[in-house]
Structure 1
Amino acid sequence: MRKHTETLPTKNRWLILSHGFNMDGRAASQTITDKIPYLLEAGIKPVVFSAITGIQDQRFPHRQFLAWGPAAFRFDFRHWIANQYGRGLLYKLLTRSVSILLAPFIGLEKFFLGYSSQWSWAMPAFTHGRQLIRDGKIDVVYSTGGAWSAHLAGLWLKKVTGVKWIVEVHDPLVIRKSPVDAGSERPKNRDAQFRQYLERQIIRYADYVWWFTEGAVHYAKARNPNLNTQGNARGFTVLPGANPPGGIITSKAHQYSDTLNLCHFGSLAKDRSLATILNALSSLLKKYPHAGRHIRVHAYGAPLDVLTLDAIKQYGFEDVLLAHGRLEKDSVSGKSGRERVVEKMQEADVLILLHGNDEWCAEYIPSKFYEYLWTGRPIWGIVHHNPQLDQMLSNRGAYLSHEGDLEGINMTLERIWLDWEQKHLPTPTGEAIGVNQAVATILGIVQTPVNSLNHHS
């Protein structure tokens, strides 16, 4: 196999601003780090600026900066210490000491500004980025997040230097309250006010900006009629996709055991709670009492939320729901957290995808969905106000329920139970969505001449 190569462009030196770059298992990190091999293949020469929270990349210049504000410093310091020394006694001693020392300054920062903690990382990113641009070493600034400090730094660089600026918005910057709310009204919260301002500035100054769902683009245009008009950012949708950790996952024939294992991966909260599953399970056991001996719900990646804890106590499900916590890198096997997670995903009978119940779900698709697609395991998606995600799940033969439809959720769990009893769980249809298609879309639309992504034999 050989690459079809075109003349390398003169605009291929990209400064990538990503606060959480190379943080194992973090969605905001994976979204950009998974793109890097394809960007390199396409002839892009990246320089990455990030916080100190991740592992320094050795393939290209990767500079890590401490944030200048006390709250962000505390956050970054905790992760840096964990990476260096683990989360044992030294971690607890040092992080507690730093928290005590910084507490009065963090209080003043919140009182005078009220922004989310990582905002101040924009300052060192801007300072060092401006120098690189003035030295003629950068053609394009690519801000991606995650933490909106990367976009703030990109905005400052655009205003000061006029550099070409492309923006990747992971989650909506403006959080709507209802289906009829476009998010145009001024929020009361100061951080929300600033995010609303930042979105307007991105659309005014960025050369290109993209979001990860059709809903996010729709509402951004509703708030900003100048989006996609001449002289303003051209907005579009990119499905971020995901790559299988460690390369292509080998397909494994599913082995049925005497237990139906329902597995959830990722964060939990009151608006995204396994209590939804436990409530349905309680109803199922009234109809099929023997199912209690065979069903287990597994939670990976996050502490249990308060609603889940209450449901466990209410139903006596202490032996039914098993909380495994976050899977970190295994020092014995050398497997990364992501690789260990994928192994557990493949062992599941059914993967649970909780979407949430907030209005912003219309603009959001959980990043775990794209990872789930690589595993070959059936997905049970409980979706809220997102026709795009509904369609993507339906196209792959997934179990589909809707948030708030208690009867429908109960019926779906019963269907899963009966399918498992008959050893007839569905095999997902369709293909996984890789990151290569996202990079191809981005490079094609921003019209940067690069090496062809195509391979010819």
Structure 2
Amino acid sequence: MLRVIDIKLDELVNIQSSITLPSVTVKKRWLILTHAFNMDGRAASLTITDKIPYLLEAGVEPIVFSAITGLKDSRFPHYQFIAWGPSGFRFDFRHWVANKYGRGLIYKLTTRTVSLLLAPFIAIEKLLLGYSSQWSWSLPAFLHGYRLIRAGKVDVVLSVGSAWSAHLAGVWLKKATGIELISEVHDPLVIRKSPEDQGFEKPKNRDARFRHYLENQLTRFSDKVWWFTDGALHYAKVRNVNLNTPNNAHGFVVTPGAEPPGGLESNQTHQYTEQLNLCHFGSLANDRSLSTILKALVPLLKKYPEARDQIRIHAYGAPLDSLSVDSIKQLGFEDILLAHGRLERDPVSGKSGRQQVAEKMQAADALILLHGNDEWCAEYIPSKFYDYLWTGRPIWGITHRNPQLDQMLLDRGAYLSAEGDSAGVSMALERIWLDWQSKQLIEPIWKPIGVDQAVNTILTQVQSRAK
């Protein structure tokens, strides 16, 4: 039987606490601008909220500005602002109602009413600006941040994106007050089209064109700015040469990692059942589709007909993409691909969505990591990868043009395929099937990546500038 986790959960904490964080003795008061905060299961939120305990341990005194989409934190000053634009208001309002009343009748009635009332204003906003919905959250974030800075209550501003409105507010605050600005870029702001495209050309889409401008602003005005992959840093440097110029923004890479998900069971050994359960967690899209695996099932079932009743693919966290839906219908795989949707807090057990996800991950035979097929994959690692590493389950990564991700998978023991290589994907699926039959699935090497190392890198870089 495959041993998965023979380490007690309190020992997992000891693994992370082996890193000694540098204490912050000056410039302790950090204003953190982040649209997503304390949102259960949201990657954009977890990436910053998981850092908070380590920042507190190092002596940082945070003041958080976020949208109303998450739960309010009581450990420190936490101000929640609703976006001022109609599309942003609608987005934030939906999440607020879901948090307060669930997604039942009240949610459907109120959100549909608000959407109807705001529809003409949203149309005008799109016509005049064409930006993504959360852009207007930068307005209240800037105004309230400006007051705090002028009152002498802030030493450093940290802008955190996913949603680029936080970076926009951070740049505005830097220009208006001269405050020290540090910035964490989650996803590439400039989306390249091909390996030959360096991202210099100004996009025609207005939102993309503004993100192109904002990246340049960050590299000019942030005192420190970091990305999550080697590829993202490389292309940002190519586009913005000031990253290599003294006295301007200094870019570096932070591997975000993840906290051990609540819900993991200690001393867990994997139980083989009568079915091979392949599980995918997170969002799906036509460029990141389970249809890739469904198509690879066709040659496998021709070779091993008995696999038809034994392989199940589970999708958690998001609706199926249209390509997966079409493949299910065309191939007759309605009973093979099972879509479970998003796991929300369970009022009966009290378990959060994140806890339930951790349990499902740990019970899987193998975890599917879909990278996508767009050029931006060279600059992106799915955040779910870092959660996967804590479960001790084998990962099947289908990746695209990202040597950093490939090496991280290979270093830990994984099944690895290249996106677009249908023969290679089919071979990997067959290998997983045979390994499962013989109860010899890959036993991954225990090398999870915690959040403490990310905070250590950030604090070391930020304090090196202060010396």
Normalising by structure 1, report the TM-score.
Answer: 0.96
Structure 1 residue 68 corresponds to structure 2 residue 84: yes
How far apart, CA to CA, are the structure 2 residues paired with 1:284 and 1:208?
A: 50
Q: Which residue of 2 aligns with 1:284?
A: 300
How far apart, CA to CA, are the structure 2 residues paired with 1:184 and 1:6?
A: 38
CA shift for structure 1 position 247:
8.1
Q: Which residue of 2 aligns with 1:136?
A: 152
Contact 1:395/1:430 (CA < 8 Å) preserved in 2? Answer: no
Q: Which residues in structure 2 correspond to 1:71-82 (within 5 Å)?
A: 71-82=87-98
Q: Which residue of 2 aligns with 1:436?
A: 452
Please list the CA deviations of residues 128-172 of structure 1 after superposition, one character each: whole Å capped at 9, or x if unmatched. Answer: 000000000000000001100000000000000000000000000
Q: Which residue of 1 aligns with 2:179?
A: 163
Q: Which residue of 2 aligns with 1:412?
A: 428
Percent identity over the alignment is 71
Contact 1:15/1:138 (CA < 8 Å) preserved in 2? Answer: yes
How far apart, CA to CA, are the structure 2 residues paired with 1:439 and 1:156?
A: 25
State the SS of the aligned residue for 1:324. strand
Q: Which residue of 1 aligns with 2:35?
A: 19
Contact 2:256/2:451 (CA < 8 Å) preserved in 1? Answer: yes
Contact 2:264/2:391 (CA < 8 Å) preserved in 1? Answer: no
Q: Which residue of 1 aligns with 2:316?
A: 300
How far apart, CA to CA, are the structure 2 residues paired with 1:430 and 1:322?
A: 29
1:227–1:304 Cα change, 3 Å: same
Q: Which residue of 2 aligns with 1:323?
A: 339
Q: Which residue of 2 aligns with 1:28?
A: 44
Structure 1 residue 348 corresponds to structure 2 residue 361: no
Query: Quick one: which of 384, 396, 409 aligns to 1:368?
Result: 384
Contact 1:245/1:338 (CA < 8 Å) preserved in 2? Answer: yes
Q: Which residue of 1 aligns with 2:5?
A: none
State the SS of the aligned residue for 1:333. coil
Query: Quick one: which of 269, 274, 286 aligns to 2:285?
Result: 269
Structure 1 residue 257 corresponds to structure 2 residue 277: no
Structure 1 residue 384 corresponds to structure 2 residue 403: no
Q: How many residues align?
A: 450
State the SS of the aligned residue for 1:181. coil
Give the letter for the 2:222 counterpart: A
Please list the CA deviations of residues 245-288 of structure 1 after superposition, one character each: whole Å capped at 9, or x if unmatched. Answer: 23875241100001000000000000000000100011100000
Q: Which residues in structure 2 correspond to 1:49-64 (within 5 Å)?
A: 49-64=65-80
Give the letter for the 1:388 counterpart: Q
How far apart, CA to CA, are the structure 2 residues paired with 1:367 and 1:285?
A: 32
Q: Which residues in structure 2 correspond to 1:103-118 (within 5 Å)?
A: 103-118=119-134
Please list the CA deviations of residues 306-349 of structure 1 after superposition, one character each: whole Å capped at 9, or x if unmatched. Answer: 10011111111111111100001111111111110000000000
Q: Which residues in structure 2 correspond to 1:196-275 (within 5 Å)?
A: 196-246=212-262, 250-275=266-291
Query: Quick one: which of 180, 187, 190 aligns to 2:206?
Result: 190
Give the letter for the 1:366 counterpart: P
Give the letter for the 2:186 counterpart: H
Aligned-residue RMSD, C-alpha: 1.7
How far apart, CA to CA, are the structure 2 residues paired with 1:326 and 1:33?
A: 20
Q: Which residue of 1 aligns with 2:163?
A: 147
Q: Which residue of 1 aligns with 2:55?
A: 39
Q: Which residue of 2 aligns with 1:454?
A: none
State the SS of the aligned residue for 2:96. helix
Contact 1:168/1:211 (CA < 8 Å) preserved in 2? Answer: yes
Give 5+ residue unaligned stretches, structure 2.
Answer: 1-13
How far apart, CA to CA, are the structure 2 residues paired with 1:243 and 1:337?
A: 15
CA shift for structure 1 position 293:
1.0
CA shift for structure 1 position 426:
1.1
Off by >6 Å, runs of 4+ in structure 1:
1-7
Normalising by structure 2, report the TM-score.
Answer: 0.94
1:382–1:274 Cα change, 3 Å: same
Q: Which residue of 2 aligns with 1:120?
A: 136
State the SS of the aligned residue for 2:277. strand
Contact 1:249/1:375 (CA < 8 Å) preserved in 2? Answer: no
Give the letter for the 1:265 counterpart: F
Q: Which residue of 2 aligns with 1:93?
A: 109
Contact 2:263/2:358 (CA < 8 Å) preserved in 1? Answer: no
State the SS of the aligned residue for 1:271. coil
Give 5+ residue unaligned stretches, structure 1.
Answer: 451-457
